[in-house]
Amino acid sequence: MAKIAKPAELLKNTGFDSVPQTHWMDTPVDFRPGTWLFPGKAESLIAVDLPNPRKWSPEDADWKLPPNWKEIILDGMRERLQRYRSFRVFMDSCVRCGACADKCHFYLGSGDPRNMPVLRAELLRSVYLYYFTPTGKTLGRFAGARELTEDVIKEWFYYFHQCTECRRCSVFCPYGIDTAEITMIGRELLNLIGCNIDWIVTPVANCYMKGNHLGIQPHGLVDSMDFLVENIQDITGIKIEPTFNRKGAEILYVPPSGDIFADPGTFALMGQLMLFHETGIDYTLSTYASEGGNFGSFTSMEMAKRLNAKIYAEAKRLGVKWIIGGECGHMWRVIHQFMDTMNGPGDFLETPVNPLTGTRFEHAKATGMIHVTEFTADLIHEGKIKLDPSRNDNVKVTFHDSCNPSRAMGLLEEPRYILNKVCNHFYEMPEETIRENTFCCGGGSGLGADENMEMRMRGGLPRANAVRYVHEKFGVNMLSCVCAIDRATLPPLMHYWVPKVAVCGVHELVGNALIMKGEMKRKQNLRFEDLPGVEEDGNE
Amino acid sequence: MQMLIALAIVAGIAAIGYIGGMMPALQFLFAIVLPLLAIAIFLVGFVWKVWSWAKTPVPFCIATTVGQQKSLPWIKQDKIGNPSDTASVVRRMAGEILLFRSLFRNVKAEIGPNGWLGYSVEKWLWLFAVLFHWSFLFVVIRHLRFFFVPSPAIVRGLEKIDGFLLFDLQPLFLSGILLLVGIAALYLRRIVIPQVRYISHGIDFVPLFLIAGIALSGILLRYVWPTDVVAVKSMTMGWVTLNPVLPTNISPLFFVHLTLVSVLLAWFPFSKLMHMGGVFLSPTRNQRANSREYRHVNPWNYPVHTHTYEEYEDEFRDRMKGAGLPVDKE
Ligand code: SF4
Ligand code: SF4
């Protein structure tokens, strides 16, 4: 991993308040260590039939592109122009007003003008203008058009992997131009000639073959689950019995696989398992569809579909009536906006009905899948579970809206309602940085690798900046979220920018506060830390 | 530099118009052929462009949600920011098209002391944009009087509101002045704000200069060197009735105005000015955000290779059995 400068030094050169002297078209990409990601391993490309598997490095002069790479890209563009109205309208409508410019966390953190959403889109638009419009063809650079060269491909590779597809820019654009959409198309094009990153392609290959991004085989999943079950028993005295691949269950539960393996996601998963046990719902997990997340969506829509197909296929095979999805961000973009379209119709499922409250989740009647916070908020609102929020009194909590649940779904109040019921100290970050204005963790859309740590810290700066504000003002020490990628990327971000703030899933706090029937007197929270007040009790 | 080229282009067009106006021999070209051709290119080009968008499928629901979704009955949905029915989408679109709602959200990021970030309200772009677009619309509507006899009631009504101020005992149409102010502000913004200057192409200055030229020449024609309005109207009515009338007694300045307008019209469909149509067709804004409630259909959805459960079980059957997992085939 490249060494990264101290926070104070990095802060000094974010520099988005000025612009460089040279025109962006004349500035070659500087593949500086710490800012780019390693290319996809050949064997992973082969596993999912992606073209041009080879050994290469972005630092090399020769990227070993296929001989007809240019034709492939231009054909790919033509095809996508015929398939996506978004692509056409976005290519044609930008007026370069700059409203989106300072809305991108990567621009705010790096000051690199090509990280302004408008210029990120121009990287592709310039080629579109040159090859697909009369104005660009005749007027060239004056009209912002340029020829497609290998340097352009390098630039695409660099900057389309410095966009986390967070959609923040699209909130502010007067025409709704969504640079995330352009990045997605840009990455699809790059994939046609084998220019992709390993942090995406290898999880994709794992997920395709083994059912989850981490490549954990079925028995490994069972082992990990046993470990979590033991922990829950140690803490509560209750042995819960989650099942895998059980036919005839009413509900299929699909969490992001990260939550089964890595702290602090495991704590959030434990909270959900405890809740499911306490409510007695009839649910099962799947080892085959053991991944709610979908790194395929960071590759191409086709790959997104290939990975997502497992969820419905497994729901059908097991004969469940409906599905609950776990706390994950981009997973919910795919579930909410793409799944039914890609792999539906989901009409073999029923409209989800909460067996305890009788609430029908009409808003999910077509897909048959609800978000776990929708389920939990309903339970709490209808008074079906008992909570002791004082068990979370050691934390002062704020909430990070993940990009996709906020801007591609609108899941804003559900987690907040829960947080307000399960803890006594909840503080919001400034409004420019939450809800639909939320800032990305800096490592979403497959960019959460180690080798680009500097760029992650830069991209995460606006988020950290807002956390720092509530940390200093209210003493906030816990950053909660509903996203597995966040739970992997925010801890190092906090460690770097705002030490002393930890990260948790919303359901970790639910698990702590949940009063379970027959539980022993709880002494520790899900992290095996003493509950607030325990020590004083012991001293009495 | 690129900006100067843009200025030179527009100045050149204006000069050509002036010359055209000076030479009676060229008047047929400049007063009839060019305007009619421009109108034809504009209409055909605009329709062609919008058609090329409209016929392209929208394969996925990609609405950008900027408010609370519809979920539990006791959670208040933000119907405009996260519309789940058509009526709400219409309201959202009206907000975008008439009030530039997304632009109104603008906040500016700043580097504060010690390098940390701060945000402040920034409504200038919104204000200039509203000023410019609305006054442009007013001006266009006012000009409809050249194409109808008698001039439509809406035009006369608008003239009353727009021209409540008097200048030299004539009504002073505010919209024309505000149009010029708006365009000047947008121009200044483009050259003063370093980022906006950096992202600008030469061509981005062309519409600014063109419209500024049109507004300026229009104002001069009205208040300073008035032209013979009756002659102009006989010419414009000649276009409408396709019964060309060669103008007499019209000043060369008018031909500058007319030529700039013709170029703007003809160029419109090939330029970023098509954002006027694009704003109606932007999928992140004009879709319902109800993709879990109703299935969105992708017309080109094609079958893909998947790794089936059977293949998976074949690969892992022994280990699954060893871990106590149920299997389909023994
Ligand atoms: S806000 Fe929209 S129109 Fe303005 S520069 Fe950005 S993408 Fe272009
Ligand atoms: S989607 Fe997010 S990361 Fe990408 S350009 Fe827009 S604001 Fe930046």
pLDDT at residue A2, as a whole number: 56
Q: Is the Cβ of A94 closer than 8 Å to some Cβ of chain B? A: yes
ipTM: 0.95
Q: Is the Cβ of A83 closer than 8 Å to some Cβ of chain B? A: yes
- Residue A5 DSSP SS3: coil
**Ligand 1 binding residues, C-beta < 6 A:** A 94-100, 117-118, 173-175, 177
pLDDT at residue A537, as a whole number: 53
Are A81 and B70 within 8 A, CB to CB? no
Question: Which residues of chain A are within 8 Å of residue B57 when distances are taken between CB atoms?
Answer: 83-85
Using pLDDT thresholds of 50, 70 and 90, give the confidence band for residue B47: very high
Are A88 and B53 within 8 A, CB to CB? yes
C-alpha atoms less than 13 angstroms from C-alpha of A404 in its C-beta half-sphere: 29
Side chain identity at A229, as an amino acid letter? V
Using pLDDT thresholds of 50, 70 and 90, give the confidence band for residue B229: confident
For residue A399, what are the β-bridge partners? A480
Decide if B297 contacts A337 (C-beta within 8 A).
no
Residue B94 has pLDDT above 70, yes or no: yes
Instruction: Tell me which residues of chain A have a pLDDT lower than 70.
Output: 1-2, 535-540
Q: Please give the torsion angle defined by the CA atoms of residues A409, A414, A415 and A419, in that order, rounded to the nearest 10 degrees.
A: 170
Regarding the beta carbon of A180 and ligand 2, being less than 6 Å apart is answered: yes
Question: CA B188 to CA B3: how far, in whole Å?
Answer: 12
Mutation target vs A (from B4, B41, B69; most A CBs, 10 A cutoff) = B69
Q: From the centroid of its chain, how far is CA B290?
A: 28
Per the listing, tokens 């109108």 go with B39
Cα–Cα distances in Å, from B330 out to A218, A249, A314, B311, B316?
16, 21, 19, 14, 12
Q: Under 8 Å CB-to-CB from B33, ≥6 apart: which residues?
A: none
Are B71 and A367 within 8 A, CB to CB? no
Using pLDDT thresholds of 50, 70 and 90, give the confidence band for residue B164: confident
Domain residue spans in chain B?
A: 2-59+81-284
Considering every ligand atom shown, identify the ligand nearest to the alpha carbon of residue A161 and give its number. 2
Please give, rounded to a whole number of angstroms, the shortest distance from the CA of A98 to a CA of chain B: 6
pLDDT at residue A294, as a whole number: 97
Question: CA A337 to CA A226: how far, in whole Å?
Answer: 34
Q: Is the Cβ of A475 closer than 8 Å to some Cβ of chain B? A: no
For residue A523, what are the β-bridge partners? none
What's the gap in Å between B295 CA and the centre of ligand 2?
27
Correct CATH for B2-59+81-284 of 3.90.1150.10, 3.40.50.410, 1.20.950.20, 1.20.1290.10: 1.20.950.20
B57-68 residue pLDDT tens: 999 999 999 999
Regarding the beta carbon of A183 and ligand 2, being less than 6 Å apart is answered: yes
Are A407 and B58 within 8 A, CB to CB? no
Phi then psi dihedrals of residue A5, to 5 deg: -65, 160
Q: Ligand 1, atom 8: nearest CA belongs to which residue? A: A94
Decide if A45 contacts A194 (C-beta within 8 A).
yes
Question: Which residues of chain A are within 8 Å of residue B116 when distances are taken between CB atoms?
Answer: 11, 465, 468
B236-284 residue pLDDT tens: 999 988 888 887 778 899 999 999 999 999 999 999 999 999 999 999 9
In B169-198, the residues whose Cβ lies within 8 Å of chain A are: 193-198
Neighbouring C-beta atoms of residue A436, cutoff 10 Å: 22
Q: Average pLDDT in the B297-309 region? A: 97
CB-closest option in A85, A365, A410 to B69 = A410
Are A436 and B69 within 8 A, CB to CB? no
pLDDT at residue A539, as a whole number: 46
Decide if B100 contacts B279 (C-beta within 8 A).
no
Report the residue of chain A nearest B1, measured CA to CA: A142
Are B201 and A142 within 8 A, CB to CB? yes
Q: Cis link prior to A53 (omega < 30° from 0)?
A: no
Q: What stretches of A149-256 show up as alpha helix (H) in DSSP?
A: 150-160, 168-172, 179-192, 198-210, 218-236
Q: Is the Cβ of A451 closer than 8 Å to some Cβ of chain B? A: no
Q: Is the Cβ of A226 closer than 8 Å to some Cβ of chain B? A: no
Closest CA relative to residue A41, chosen from A216, A202, A205? A202
Question: Which residues of chain A are within 8 Å of residue B295 when distances are taken between CB atoms?
Answer: 340-341, 344-346, 366-367
Neighbouring C-beta atoms of residue A381, cutoff 10 Å: 17
Q: Which two three-digit tokens encode residue A412?
A: 């804003």
CB-closest option in B5, B291, B308 to A142 = B5
Decide if B173 contacts B141 (C-beta within 8 A).
no
Side chain identity at A75, as an amino acid letter? D
Q: Under 8 Å CB-to-CB from A356, ≥6 apart: which residues?
A: A279, A281, A379, A382, A384
Question: CA B194 to CA A118: how far, in whole Å?
Answer: 14
Are A24 and B70 within 8 A, CB to CB? no
Q: Which of A399-413, A474-488, B86-100, B150-164 has the lowest mean pLDDT?
A: B150-164
Q: Is the Cβ of A12 closer than 8 Å to some Cβ of chain B? A: yes
Report the residue of chain A nearest B98, measured CA to CA: A174
Decide if A452 contacts A3 (C-beta within 8 A).
no
Q: Is the Cβ of B122 closer than 8 Å to some Cβ of chain A? A: no
Residue B146 has pLDDT above 70, yes or no: yes
Residue A237 — left, alpha, or beta (φ > 0 → left; ψ -120 to 50 → alpha)?
left
